[in-house]
Structure 1
């Protein structure tokens, strides 16, 4: 079984368990924290991925790091994963929990690259557009400034992309001139 599939299955199981125990919000927050800590600490990730490090050592490290910061369900979940020899996918499973939670709640992440920083008005318009087109309940907007765009923006939501940049329009026009279409 691939790592992604296994991580996705573990994530689904903890989400199902947390729904039963009315603790979905807490588990999602816990997993966001776990994901952030592992992402920011390459040594922790290396320890979890190393098959030579004993299981009890990995469990001890995770318990010391998260015991007072996460719920009992999350702690038990991480202990179970490590005891089953799946410590290398704790990070992936934590990210999957957040992804699956967002899917359940209708939360989408949109990435916007624009030539200049977005104004509050344009930010609100983009969020409204994404909500309408995708049918999302909430939109998390990640903004990037890319001066190469000259003007306009590029919006990515999942595997869809909308390019309203001036540089893209100029490149398209350039190709049409080269092909003698215009």
Structure 2
């Protein structure tokens, strides 16, 4: 449920920031907000806790973000907290960034490989994803998992391409088991 509400709030914030020509600023603020909440689980707990008074939540957010974010973002944070919806702020920030990326044609590709990618591998992944999905920009998130033995697993959105040696060996095991 909070995901739908977060998406609606994010869309409203995106529309408002477009009207005010502040999309980039607000997007940067949402990324900043996400990072701060990710780094401070206590902050997320406070925002989600219905027992913490609204003015306390307001004061905490003002102390952290006051003067460091665009006026639209500051007003938005106040409004959402005053409406008693602070629990969805983190989800709203994530949804905002996703909607921004969709509009700009930015795709996130998560690559898990047995060893770190070389610059040539990274470029190849970016070019492949751009070609297949028509993306204007590709953000590559790299993870290393030695258990893959070799090859890689590429995830883009809800799609996954598994070209790892470990996966191939598991398929062979299943075929010989029957």
Give 1:99's aligned residue.
98
Matched residue SS, 1:162:
strand
Deviations 1:87-130 (A, max 9, x none): 11111111111111111111111111111111100110011001
Deviations 1:115-157 (A, max 9, x none): 1111100110011001111111111111111111111111111
Give 1:27's aligned residue.
26
Give 1:79's aligned residue.
78
Cα distance in structure 2, aligned partners of 1:174 and 1:38: 43
Deviation at 1:178, TM superposition (A): 2.4
Q: Kindly report structure 1 stretches of 4+ aligned residues shifted beyond 6 Å.
A: none
Matches within 5 A, 1:38-53: 38-53=37-52
Give 1:60's aligned residue.
59
1:139 aligns with 2:134: no
Please, which runs of 5 or more residues in structure 1 have no aligned partner? Answer: none
Deviates more, 1:47-56 or 1:138-147: 47-56
Cα distance in structure 1, aligned partners of 2:52 and 2:162: 48
Deviation at 1:168, TM superposition (A): 1.4
Q: Which TM-score applies when normalising by structure 2?
A: 0.96
Give 1:14's aligned residue.
13
Cα distance in structure 2, aligned partners of 1:172 and 1:98: 37
Give 1:177's aligned residue.
176
Deviations 1:54-101 (A, max 9, x none): 111111111111112100000000000011110111111111111111
Structure having the higher Rg: 1
Give 1:153's aligned residue.
152
Q: Which TM-score applies when normalising by structure 1?
A: 0.94
Give 1:165's aligned residue.
164
